[in-house]
A and B are shown apart, each in its own frame.
Chain A
């Protein structure tokens, strides 16, 4: 956990970021060897250098792994989500064999048992709607209804507890019967306010909730040491200790759904914007809190529904960008570093995102289908960027093709520093030779002279 210093409020955002980086670099870890300790600090230094738009000793290679470490370790995704021993063996082997500059974290696979217990409705996962060897997938739907915007705006937490979560989790459906916490304001209301808590199905739901909490503790006590071992023996820092999302994606991905939010842009634009504005401080607080608890400055933000083709630039500037920008500024202000995983193409958005209100050297953008030469032109000297090695090539290409692609990328856009080598789409499907080509070429060819 990052300890907030007493003079925190007097620090500038840059000083706050320094403090977070320093704390991350000096985390008390029982390293297996002095080499591991040194490698850990060197890797963080490279990440800090690129964030600050400097030239590090070499290009940091931080691919974003999906479920591929499971396949590599000879287990199914289903086993990785349910059998923590197998999960541990697979992820430790993966990290040791490939040595990326950022840990492939076993925590990202998630506890299957907990999703089962809570009867999670918004996703299918291996053995539960998708085949054992595939990643989890979102089930598109309207989990928030069109006429519920005011409820969300008036009381986001109350809306989540009594409407959204009961829909998202079958086991929590009885929470619909709960009253708002805000009923409980003086003595006579305590008895009345707690009546719903005594209703048998509500009690049952809370019982399941508590059991799920216990199952999560079992999971994290297994997964924590798996990641801890890779960090301590290999010196791989865990880059992603925190995450949040753009308000448009929060509402669009798992609340209203793609189809419904796009209709809302026409049918109730005012309510949609008001709800996103309401979510801004919530999204900032979440990112900052996890960064503090995990003691990592990076806040991972996957970007979804603002990509090219999803809406016009005019609508991007009206619906997506203002609240997303507010989240970025809030995170930066707290000394954290937004680490953006820009899925799809952002070729039409580059002029908009390079907003002069966002200080130089305060964000990281990992692109997928975006033209990297254009990205370099627009983002160079303003923000660290990277990504782009195609998922198709990682699957169907040859190691030679990948080597050539990586070298070309480094030649064309990495020369001034401020650059991270990474793949474009989440890596679920590749092969060892191709992944070695990506990582090893990046490490050998990416040395700055």
Chain B
């Protein structure tokens, strides 16, 4: 474990983090250990986000650093030591009629690094596409994102479509700038979240990993 690398990432020192990664890899460090440092750093950043010490710019920059470090490390990993066990499968997307992706991407990213298999369907996703993806993957959780108040009805329709397809065991979480408990009730979703870490804790709770 390299505390130096973890600190560089959590302190948002991007150049240092990349240099330390290069130095570690040159000195023959285990590439998987480097990735594990990244995971630990992301965990700390997630905690800070939850506690209000870290904000959207930090999540975006951390995501960038993770991407850059992964690009350096991945070619050095000879064989995938059997991909790590996932906590659960989540179908995720911005509902029909809404093309906003920034918040959705952050939540999908946080779910991914917290051990979930995320099927990100992108933006402007029709209800039927969510249903089909759940049926195909056997996902037990669906995440619906929407920035505008016009997302309310498509969210409601998506929840109804899941029920109509007999996917009654699937839990649905919704989120976005204008989402609150009143809209949770209106749409029939199981829960709503104000931020990415709420989504992570909901997903962990629902998949029995909390």
Are both chains from one complex? Answer: yes
A residues touching B (Cβ–Cβ < 8 Å)?
A: 124, 129-131, 134-135, 137, 139-140, 258-259, 262-263, 265-267, 309-312, 315, 343-344, 390-397, 425-429
B139-177 interface (Cβ within 8 A of A): 148-150, 152-153, 177
Given contacts A310-B56, A311-B56, are A396 and B14 in contact (CB under 8 A)?
A: no
Which of A135, A263, A310, A396 is the one whose CB lies under 8 Å from B185? A396
Which of B12, B60, B186 is the one whose CB lies under 8 Å from A396? B186
Task: Tell me the number of A-to-B contacts counted with CB atoms below 8 Å.
Answer: 92
Determine the distance from Cα of A135 to Cα of B148 in the docked complex, in whole angstroms.
9
Given contacts A309-B195, A391-B178, are A259 and B60 in contact (CB under 8 A)?
A: yes
Cβ–Cβ contact A134 & B180, under 8 A:
no
Determine the distance from Cα of A312 to Cα of B57 in the docked complex, in whole angstroms.
9
Which of B96, B98, B102, B177 is the one whose CB lies under 8 Å from A259? B102
Closest B residue by C-beta to A265: B57
Given contacts A137-B148, A262-B57, A428-B150, are A396 and B98 in contact (CB under 8 A)?
A: no
Given contacts A310-B55, A428-B150, are A263 and B182 in contact (CB under 8 A)?
A: no
Contacts of B177 in A (CB 8 A): 343-344, 425
B44-70 interface (Cβ within 8 A of A): 53-57, 60-61, 64
Excluding A130-B97, A266-B57, 9 further A-B contacts by CB distance (< 8 Å) are: A131-B97, A135-B148, A259-B102, A266-B14, A311-B56, A390-B180, A392-B179, A396-B183, A425-B178
B18-65 interface (Cβ within 8 A of A): 53-57, 60-61, 64
Contact-size category for B: 20 to 34
Cβ–Cβ contact A137 & B60, under 8 A:
no
Contacts of B121 in A (CB 8 A): none
Given contacts A309-B55, A344-B177, A392-B183, are A124 and B148 in contact (CB under 8 A)?
A: no
How distant is A371 from chain B, measured CB to nearest CB, in Å?
A: 14
Chain A to chain B contacts (Cβ below 8 Å), 25 pairs: A124-B99, A130-B97, A131-B96, A131-B97, A134-B150, A137-B100, A140-B101, A259-B60, A262-B60, A263-B64, A266-B57, A309-B195, A392-B152, A392-B178, A392-B180, A392-B183, A393-B182, A394-B149, A395-B152, A397-B182, A425-B149, A425-B178, A426-B149, A427-B149, A428-B148
